[in-house]
Amino acid sequence: MPGTEFLLEVRCEEIPARMLQPAIQELATRLFEELMALNLAPSEMETGFTPRRLILMLKGLDSQERDRDEELIGPPVKAAFDGEGRPTRAAEGFARKCGVEVGALQRLETDKGEYLAATRRVVGRPVSEVLAQVVPPIVEGLSWAKTMRWGVGEGPWVRPIHGLVALCDGEVVPCSVFDVQSSNETCGHLVLSPRSFAVRNIADYRRKIARRQIVMRFEERRQRLQDQLEKAAEVLGGGLVRDPELLDRLTAICEIPGIVVGRFDPAFLSLPREVLITSLRDHQSALMLESKGMLLPNFITVMDRPDDPKGRVQAGNEWVVAARLEDARFFFNEDRKTSLKQRRQRLDSLTFHAKLGSYAEKTRRITELTEEICESLGWRHEVEEAITASGLLKVDLTSEMVKEFTSLQGIVGGLYAEREEYPTAVWQAIYDQYLPASTEDSMPRGRVGQATALADRIDTLVGMFGLGLIPSGSRDPFGLRRAGQGVIRIVLEAELPLDLDLIAGKSVLLYGDLLDRSGKEILADLRAFLQDRVRHLLGLRGYAYDTIEAALAVGSSNLPELLARVDAVHTVREEPDFLSVVLAAKRIANILKEAPDHDLEDAVLKEPAEQDLHSAAEALRADIDRAEKRGDYETCLRDIAKLSEPLERFFVEVLVMDENRELRNNRIALLQRIQRMISRTARLTEVVVDKSEHRDRGESKSTG
């Protein structure tokens, strides 16, 4: 059965592009959950949005709620009847409410005592009546980053609402949102097709919207724009400078996917590539073109209409672009009049954080921390350039270019350093200082870039943690999760054998008495925070959570070593002998729980099974030591797996908790020694094992 359909369109003034996708997702999710709770969930749901409308289409709804029994709880029995058993006003009132006689009321035993109760048959409402009740509060309650009021106080909402289409099987669902009444009428494009028109149902709405060239689905609109952009670029003899984020923004700011191609004075091509692209991107939401790695004096953007017959849209865009590029050239030329070394003096007047001092103080800390990192890694040849780069890392914050284009922080400093003929490693380190900002970003180039990027992030993390500004929930105003993720990615991907605890401890000392918390508290919280970033990044690489936890539990702050341990567990974890040892490790952990340490005495080992286990472990110890010293953790785990058979035999033939205290304590001591040995590479108790699956593997191994 096709079921009932529902069309909802909320038409308003232009919503900022960044808010559209979250809004339609929230609207769809909340309405679906409301209907699901009422057993009215649709079989199909489709969403759409343009800058001036949110669209939701549901199909496969039941025509009405199901009839149901509703249990009503009344007054306590002791309050419902007097001492002689006669009903009180409370009982009579409850009976009237339920539409029955007092004698027909039930008695219900609860945790709070005995209460009167009744069961009432509730006839299901038509779905249109349900929608009229649930839709308005959902629409009015959508979450917005910014809101406003209009008229005589309507709102708050992101923008004034002008129309509300709410149709259930062609009939208007009577409801209102901020005093805007629902109807079956909407309109097209604000300029090209502003006259209102009526729609009968979802199919009719689709046809009439499409006839006015409006594309309501974001994905379709994006693809159409992409096709037009690529075709226009090809005609101009180049290709698009790829920018998926900007393409999403362009898609969101138009209803009709049309493009406009513009041109600017080729003299502006003397500006750095990054400045040109950012200026057009930030100020005009325009994409640039390139050919053979060289930018062309052209740009493309959207115009929310299919054509530009009189060329006014193109002329307007070209006029604005010329003005913006002229500004950029002015800022660039003005900045170049002051060297980076001279700019460094201005960092004293630029505050990093009210409690953590100026950027000049941050620069001094970064420089010392950079030197510490280089020395820890044995990078003696890079120290001088790393110190130079760290001293200039933040000077572009005083430039006019960065004040105008904040997204060019670091990049501008790198460009200026290159033009001032600083060594390649120095200007690249300044340029790359904010890399990686995401899991997809490239890494800082070279050792100097890696050292300065690490020092900058660790200084920020320690400072903010020292003030107790630790991210919680979704709040992270200082971008500390991104900074932590950057630290982990750099250390892991560059395979730096760096003790992060040691470097963070040095950073705490460099802050002196500026921090509110003790070094011990800061380092404990920071260690846990960075471990969470490790879990996240290794999870993205496909490692199972228990594999990661098994390696993390060893407590290594050397991340390349940690990764080697994770990879070793990942490689051998499915091997039957290793799984047997994992199960034995869990059993050992249970036996030794809260047991005091005991000394092992070889002479007290009486049973052959315990003697054999001890001999096998001692024979393997030297092999495991050698493998661990050379970082061959896979061999370590496979050597440990060789204890599988003697451990199984031990647990079958030996009673650990013997009544004889001397035997019991000596067997506990043996297991404690085994536990220490098998837990050096990874804490095997963290590995999750399906016992039935392991048993099947063991049987297949024995029969094979």
3-state DSSP assignment of residue 535: helix
Burial class (CB in 10 A: 0-12, 13-18, 19+), 307: exposed
Domains of the chain by residue range: 4-64+126-211, 68-122, 218-335, 341-537, 559-703
How high is the pLDDT of residue 691?
54
At 573, the amino acid letter reads R
Contact indicator for 17, 252 with CB cutoff of 8 Å: yes
Mean pLDDT confidence for 156-185? 95
Q: What are the backbone dihedrals phi and psi of residue 666, each rounded to the nearest 5 degrees, phi first?
A: -70, -35
- CATH superfamily, domain 559-703, is Isoleucyl-tRNA Synthetase; Domain 1 (1.10.730.10)
Look at phi and psi of residue 179 and say left if phi exceeds 0, alpha if psi is from -120 to 50, else beta.
left
How high is the pLDDT of residue 1?
44
**What percent of the chain stands above pLDDT 70?**
98
How high is the pLDDT of residue 694?
47
Res. 68: pLDDT tops 80: no
Confidence of residue 391 (pLDDT cuts 50, 70, 90): very high
Those residues with Cβ within 8 angstroms of residue 553's Cβ, 6 or more apart along the chain or in another chain: 682, 683, 686
Res. 442: pLDDT tops 60: yes
Rg (alpha carbons) of the chain, rounded to whole number: 35
Buried b (16+ CB within 10 A) or exposed e, 183-198: bbebbbbeeebeeebe
What is the distance between the alpha carbons of residues 632 and 55, in angstroms, rounded to a whole number?
58
Res. 703: pLDDT tops 50: no
Contact indicator for 624, 677 with CB cutoff of 8 Å: yes
Mean pLDDT confidence for 98-124? 85
How high is the pLDDT of residue 475?
81
How high is the pLDDT of residue 331?
96
Confidence of residue 516 (pLDDT cuts 50, 70, 90): very high
Confidence of residue 455 (pLDDT cuts 50, 70, 90): very high
126 strand-pairing partners = 64
**Enclosing H/E stretch for 294:** strand 294-302
Q: Regarding predicted confidence, which is higher, 138 or 37? A: 138
Structure tokens at 512: 């002196």
Contacts of residues 86-95 at CB distance under 8 Å and 24 or more positions apart, as own/partner, are: 91/116, 94/118
Res. 704: pLDDT tops 60: no
Q: Regarding predicted confidence, which is higher, 689 or 217? A: 217
What is the distance between the alpha carbons of residues 268 and 331, in angstroms, rounded to a whole number?
13
Among 100, 95, 99, smallest CA distance to 116 is for 95
pLDDT, tens digit, for every residue of 622-666? 899 999 899 899 999 999 999 889 999 999 998 989 889 999 999
> Which of the residue ranges 49-63, 339-353, 356-370, 674-688 would you say has the lowest mean pLDDT?
674-688
What is the distance between the alpha carbons of residues 656 and 231, in angstroms, rounded to a whole number?
78
How high is the pLDDT of residue 196?
95
What is the distance between the alpha carbons of residues 413 and 431, in angstroms, rounded to a whole number?
6
Count of alpha carbons within 13 Å of 211, Cβ hemisphere only? Answer: 10
Confidence of residue 2 (pLDDT cuts 50, 70, 90): low
How high is the pLDDT of residue 77?
87
Structure tokens at 344: 């460094």
Mean pLDDT confidence for 496-514? 94
Angle in degrees, CA 264, 266, 272, rounded to 5: 100
For domain 4-64+126-211, which architecture applies?
2-Layer Sandwich (3.30)
Res. 308: pLDDT tops 70: yes
Among 91, 121, 89, smallest CA distance to 105 is for 91
pLDDT, tens digit, for every residue of 145-170? 999 999 888 889 999 999 999 999 99
Note the pTM of the prediction, 2 decimals.
Answer: 0.81
Mean pLDDT (the chain) is 92
549 strand-pairing partners = none
Q: What are the backbone dihedrals phi and psi of residue 591, each rounded to the nearest 5 degrees, phi first?
A: -65, -40
How high is the pLDDT of residue 700?
45
CA distance readout (Å), 309 to 315, 373, 399, 602:
12, 62, 42, 97
At 324, the amino acid letter reads R
Q: Regarding predicted confidence, which is higher, 83 or 542? A: 542
Quickly name the fold that domain 341-537 has: Hypothetical protein af1432 (1.10.3210)
Mean pLDDT confidence for 181-185? 96
How high is the pLDDT of residue 100?
85
Residue 42, preceding peptide bond in cis (omega within 30° of 0)? no
How high is the pLDDT of residue 439?
85
CA distance readout (Å), 6 to 127, 161, 174, 475:
10, 20, 13, 36
